[in-house]
Amino acid sequence: MLREKARPGETKAAASPEALERATAEERLRWALEAYGERLVLSTSFGIQAAVMLHMVTRHAPELPVVFVDTGYLFPETYRYAEELTERFGLNLKVVHPRRSPAWQEAVEGRRWEQGLEELEAYNRENKVEPMNRALRDLGAEAWLSGLRRSQAKSRADLRVVEKQQRTVKIHPVVDWSEKDIYEYQRAHELPMHPLWEQGYVSVGDWHSTAPLEQGMTPEKTRFNGLKRECGLHEASGQDDWQI
């Protein structure tokens, strides 16, 4: 479905944005694997619905590197969920940490997530963005699979199947999936949810910056004390013209 008549200079995996938009999640994934091969990685936060992408990808590419940024501030339930899914799917897990430990950071900088938006963003750059960029560089990755979906937040509503984020190609196989699609995939494959789902969490990150969804809240307000939705890992996508 994805392959169209190749133009001069294109690879056999060439596909237009329109073709990728029409494709299924599995077709997008197979395209990404064919197009980028060993230059492709998957990221996971072991969040609420992480099992979907981990299951889908490892069925096709069990050895694909799976990058997990461990800030040192994750919920105990997240670490246990990570252990469960790593064993279940046989993940080729690549755990990456900030250069400074949580204790070191707090001794020098204080609790930055309590010091306003500017300090929160500095915290995110050190604990999430820099480690992920380092992992991409160390793994020689040119393309990055992510489970982002348009329905998750207003900040993700305009996501495309394939985008450019700085020097890395971002590929979102399930970008157009609804909550119902996610639920049905999980049920069909008997995939476990994150343990905190039962406690009202719809998104999970660091314990100090994540809250359960309560009456009157939007999902965006459950992260970073409502100051912002994104941690920085998926921001600053380039909008310049480029060829897939």
Higher pLDDT, 65 or 150: 65
pTM of the prediction? Answer: 0.84
In degrees and rounded to multiples of 5, residue 43 shows phi and psi of: -105, 150
Question: In this predicted structure, what is the pLDDT of residue 150?
Answer: 83
- 16 vs 149: CA distance, rounded Å: 20
In degrees and rounded to multiples of 5, residue 127 shows phi and psi of: -95, -15
At residue 175 the predicted structure's pLDDT band, cuts being 50, 70 and 90, is very high
Higher pLDDT, 152 or 135: 135
168-171 vs 65-69, strand pairing mode: unpaired
Question: In this predicted structure, what is the pLDDT of residue 4?
Answer: 41
End-to-end CA distance of the chain: 16
- 244 vs 92: CA distance, rounded Å: 27
In whole numbers, what is the pLDDT of the chain averaged over residues? Answer: 85
Which one of the listed residues 231, 233, 234, 244 is annotated catalytic? 231
At residue 187 the predicted structure's pLDDT band, cuts being 50, 70 and 90, is very high
DSSP letter string, 23-58? S-HHHHHHHHHHHHGGGEEEEE---TTHHHHHHHHH
- How far lies 170's CA from each of 82, 90, 164, in Å? 23, 24, 6
- 107 vs 9: CA distance, rounded Å: 54
Identify which of 100-114, 139-153, 165-179 has the greatest average pLDDT.
100-114
Could you give all domains of the chain from N- to C-terminal order, each with its CATH number? 17-226 (3.40.50.620)
Please list, in sequence order, all residues whose beta carbon lies within 8 angstroms of the beta carbon of residue 177, skipping any fewer than 6 positions away: 25, 149, 151, 185
Please list, in sequence order, all residues whose beta carbon lies within 8 angstroms of the beta carbon of residue 16, skipping any fewer than 6 positions away: 4, 244
At residue 140 the predicted structure's pLDDT band, cuts being 50, 70 and 90, is very high
- 92 vs 88: CA distance, rounded Å: 12
Active site residue 231: yes
At residue 238 the predicted structure's pLDDT band, cuts being 50, 70 and 90, is very low
For residues 232 and 132, the answer to whether their CB atoms sit within 8 Å is no
Residue range 14-57, pLDDT digits in tens: 578 888 988 999 999 999 999 999 999 999 999 998 999 999 99
Please list, in sequence order, all residues whose beta carbon lies within 8 angstroms of the beta carbon of residue 46, skipping any fewer than 6 positions away: 68, 74, 78, 81, 82, 85, 194
Provide the 10 A C-beta neighbour count for residue 234. 21
| Rounded mean pLDDT, 185-202 | 93
| Rounded mean pLDDT, 171-195 | 94
Region class of 162: left (phi > 0), else alpha (psi between -120 and 50), else beta: beta
Please list, in sequence order, all residues whose beta carbon lies within 8 angstroms of the beta carbon of residue 131, skipping any fewer than 6 positions away: 69, 96, 97, 98, 99
Question: In this predicted structure, what is the pLDDT of residue 192?
Answer: 94
